[in-house]
Chains A and B, each alone.
Chain A
């Protein structure tokens, strides 16, 4: 809370340096335009949320950034390089956790490193560190079915952290987690953004969640998907996490976003 790196502070200037740039990206599924000419900058070391009603293409955009989907037009630039496939610079956290049910927690967390050919003892040492980081020490040899939903997503998060990618892509990571655990997760996520100096791209459909955790919020509107607004909540970020939810700016931003999204609710 006290430690604020000037370069990553949300209020540090008009145009912070971008870790990820989405340039004129379109995505068509046959005749359906899922994304149309969408451009967006993701500042380095910050958490940017993609927020919007269902069907607005936020997960599609995230998967295009991940390289899991190919854009029909446009490009994704990461650190000056155009990317078209998954790379070591990005790690993904899945909505449904995507854990291997036959593998123990430690093997799941080390799986990204296993695929990169890291030797077993080395990758397990790294995995152990991140298992401890996400608060799962003692569960190294448990299987995913023995864990609660929240703990499973911590495994997914530890797996993404252990490959040490510069960009973390989180696809509605807390939507399958119960409310209390979700709040704990959100607090931990703020901690993580502050300490890890990575760029986070976070898809959510929860307005409160987006405002709570984000340095920058991109509101996407559907059919075809476009960025309608970019909001940078900055006032309450340094006042302590326990004060965020009753900060007037927090409440104003939540209301403002709801006002612009309410017409899209079914």
Chain B
């Protein structure tokens, strides 16, 4: 029944946006616009083209950072999960990275890498990579032993065991790490634009706030959330297409 979930999604959207509209009309704060005002601002920004030029700027560190985090994160996670020595060497780095107060570290990054793209990509990576690495490593380490034994007894090489057994078996947790990592990457991209140099969507947010154009500010925030949700949904589609049987859980469960 594909209709029911769609109906529920629409219902929850109506409830959330309705609550936003009501809160804006009370108003809970002078700085909190209504949903309709924000949407009007969003259309205005889109028509003016401001929104698209802003995204062209914001997507650069975001896409780069997410791509680097996904590629390096999964590779490193595989290594860490497969080798106890590698885990001893690298896992603490990512645990520290995950716990570090990033906003406080940004000045250090700026000192080291300047105010350009490099620093922003770094911020996205620091946000996105740890959860991707740690999830991948944990999933690889928890591959069911009997699946690996099965591979060995049917004469799989080490490479085949990794490619045909460990990675597919770990894929649900790897993908959940990717989802968490990518959402964190979105936060990182905006954080970088707010804290390092105001460009792109971060510029719309900080400029609108400085001139008290709150509807535009919330429109920009709303658009980045929307983009993140769309992206995460696409990722889920990809996962289901790649590993169809996996989404019903493990056979031995």
Contact = CB atoms under 8 A, between A and B. Distances in A.
Given A91-B154, A111-B154, A144-B251, A102 B246 contact: yes
A68 interface: yes
Nearest to A86: B153
Contacts of A145: 245, 248-249, 251
A104 interface: yes
Nearest to A68: B149
Interface residues of B, number: 26
A101 B249 contact: yes
Interface centre among A88, A95, A98, A144 (most CB of B within 10 A): A98
B251 A92 contact: no
A15 interface: no
A102 B243 contact: yes
Interface in B205-253: 243-246, 248-252
A104 B243 CA distance: 10
A115 B252 contact: no
Contacts of A144: 245, 251
B147 A88 contact: no
Contacts of A16: none
Given A91-B154, A115-B160, A98 B248 contact: no
B154 A97 contact: no
Contacts of A163: 154
Contacts, number: 82
B29 interface: no
A101 B155 contact: no
A115 B151 contact: yes
Nearest to B243: A102
B168 interface: yes
Interface in A64-83: 66-68
Interface size class on chain A is: 20 to 34
A132 interface: no
A213 interface: no
A102 B168 CA distance: 7
* B interface majority secondary structure: helix
Interface string B160-183: 100011001101000000000000
B238 to A, nearest CB: 14
Contact of B165 (A94, A95, A100, A143): A100
A249 interface: no
Contact of A98 (B147, B164, B244, B245): B147
B245 A97 contact: no
B155 A116 contact: yes
Nearest to B165: A100
A98 B146 contact: yes
B108 interface: no
Contacts of B155: 86-88, 112, 115-116
Interface in A88-110: 88, 90-92, 94-104
Given A94-B146, A98-B146, A145-B251, A103 B151 contact: no
A123 B151 CA distance: 17
A266 to B, nearest CB: 26
Interface string B77-105: 00000000000000000000000000000
A99 B251 contact: yes
B44 interface: no
A67 B154 CA distance: 11
Nearest to B154: A112
Contacts of A103: 245
A164 to B, nearest CB: 12
Contact of A97 (B151, B168, B249, B251): B251
Given A68-B152, A101-B251, A144-B245, 14 more contacts: A66-B153, A68-B153, A88-B155, A92-B150, A96-B144, A98-B150, A100-B245, A101-B249, A101-B250, A102-B168, A114-B164, A115-B155, A146-B248, A163-B154
28 contacts: A63-B149, A67-B153, A86-B152, A87-B155, A90-B153, A92-B153, A92-B154, A94-B150, A95-B146, A96-B144, A96-B252, A97-B251, A98-B147, A99-B251, A100-B147, A100-B169, A101-B169, A101-B251, A102-B168, A102-B171, A102-B245, A102-B246, A111-B164, A143-B244, A143-B245, A144-B251, A145-B249, A146-B248
Interface of B: 144, 146-147, 149-156, 160, 164-165, 168-169, 171, 243-246, 248-252
Interface of A: 63, 66-68, 86-88, 90-92, 94-104, 111-112, 114-116, 143-146, 152, 159, 163
